[in-house]
Amino acid sequence: MKLYLKIWRQTNTDSNGSFQNYEIDEITPDMSFLEMMDVLNEKLIMEGIDPVAFDHDCREGICGSCSLFINGRAHGPDTGITTCQLHMRKFQDGDSIVIEPFRASSFPVIKDLVVDRKSFDRIQHAGGYISINTSGNTQDANTIPIRKEDADNAFDAATCIGCGACVATCKNASAMLFVSAKVSQFSYLPQGQVEAKDRVLNMVKQMDEEGFGNCTNTGACEVECPKGISIKNIARMNKEFLKAKL
């Protein structure tokens, strides 16, 4: 396959970026998208051009590092996957591909396609935990039965990988899906009840302080979420928030 790539290049946070064009040959359909980027970078290195920086680590769709906006879609033209799970068989010979970083004012660009998502960590610092110390004499794990349905719902919310596709996709750059996934996980579990009120208030406060936008129920985040986190979680967070405020 021969491809025409249009890639966002930016030296650092303070500099202005721009799109650069690259041509690449001998790409096979079984390659992953990031392997295609590896091939490009090897070529650039040999030509004495600075390779394209992009975040990636596990390359199996679970660490949440990779974060490209490909042809206008977070994680590219497939659903239920991260960029590292996208394969070149989704493209045709001769295609043009536009590759951008996840764009949001709360995700400043570090270099090229690498963005800073520390704002996500800071939201978790604000309340994404249950305050329990490691003592070795916590009560037995089976002391409190939890309905299978609740445990499954908690799990589904907990599978968020914190990649930021929801923010990059949302026209308001809202982080509601991300924040609600954590609030929702704990709201389904008895262990999460004790601090429920403070948790939702503090996490939402931090979310606002970080400059993320609000939710206007478009639902694009759910469509693009690689883990299929449901916007029902946003409704649930709103309910928790309201309960806490009353």
Partner 1 sequence: MNKLNSKIPNGPLAGKWTNHKGKINLVSPSNKRNIDVIVVGTGLAGASASATLAELGYNVKSFCFQDSPRRAHSIAAQGGINAAKNYQGDGDSTYRLFYDTIKGGDYRSREANVYRLAEVSGNIIDQCVAQGVPFARDYGGLLDNRSFGGVQVSRTFYAKGQTGQQLLLGAYSAMNRQIARGKIKMYSRHEMMDVVIVKGKARGIIARNLVNGEIERHSAHAVVIASGGYGNIFFLSTNAMGSNVSAAWKIHKKGAFFANPCFTQIHPTCIPVSGDYQSKLTLMSESLRNDGRIWVPKEKADAKLIREGKLSPVDIPEDKRDYYLERKYPAFGNLVPRDIASRAAKERCDNGYGVNKTGEAVYLDFSHAIIRYGEEKAKVSGLDSSDSKLVSKLGKEIVKQKYGNLFQMYEKIVDENPYELPMKIYPAVHYTMGGVWVDYNLMTSIPGCFAIGEANFSDHGANRLGASALMQGLADGYFVLPYTIGDYLSNEISTGEISTDLPEFDKSEKEISAKLKKLISNKGEKSVDFYHKKLGKIMWNKCGMSRNEKDLKSAIKEIKELREDFHKNVKIPGGLNEFNEQLAKATRVSDFLELGELFAIDALERNESCGGHFREEFQTDDGEAIRDDKKFKFVSAWEYNDDPSKPILHKEDLEYEDIEIKTRSYK
Q: Which residues pair with 235 in a beta bridge?
A: none
- Report in angstroms how near the CB of residue 126 gets to partner 1 at its nearest: 7
Can residue 108 be called a binding residue for partner 1 (CB under 8 A)?
Answer: no
For residue 13, the tally of other CB atoms under 10 A from its CB is: 11
Count the residues of the shown chain that bind partner 1, applying the rule CB under 8 A.
79
Of 20, 105, 116, 209, the residue at the interface with partner 1 (CB under 8 A) is 116
Residues 31-50 close enough to bind partner 1 by CB under 8 A: 31-32, 34-35, 38-39, 42, 44-46, 48-50
CA–CA distance, 17 with 11 (Å, rounded to integer)? 7
Of 7, 40, 99, 128, the residue at the interface with partner 1 (CB under 8 A) is 128
Nearer Cβ to partner 1, position 64 or 213?
64
CA–CA distance, 207 with 126 (Å, rounded to integer)? 9
Can residue 148 be called a binding residue for partner 1 (CB under 8 A)?
Answer: yes
Nearer Cβ to partner 1, position 121 or 209?
121
- Report in angstroms how near the CB of residue 118 gets to partner 1 at its nearest: 7
Can residue 198 be called a binding residue for partner 1 (CB under 8 A)?
Answer: no
Contacts 24+ apart (CB under 8 A), 115-120: 115/55, 115/67, 115/164, 116/13, 117/67, 117/162, 117/164, 119/175, 119/210, 119/211, 119/212, 120/162, 120/164, 120/175, 120/178
Query: Residue holding tokens 């939702």?
Result: 200
Of 4, 15, 19, 57, the residue at the interface with partner 1 (CB under 8 A) is 57
The helix, strand and coil proportions of the chain, stated in percent and rounded to the nearest 5, come to 35, 15, 50
- Report in angstroms how near the CB of residue 217 gets to partner 1 at its nearest: 27
Can residue 64 be called a binding residue for partner 1 (CB under 8 A)?
Answer: yes
Q: Which two tokens stand for residue 53?
A: 């920086």
- Report in angstroms how near the CB of residue 14 gets to partner 1 at its nearest: 11
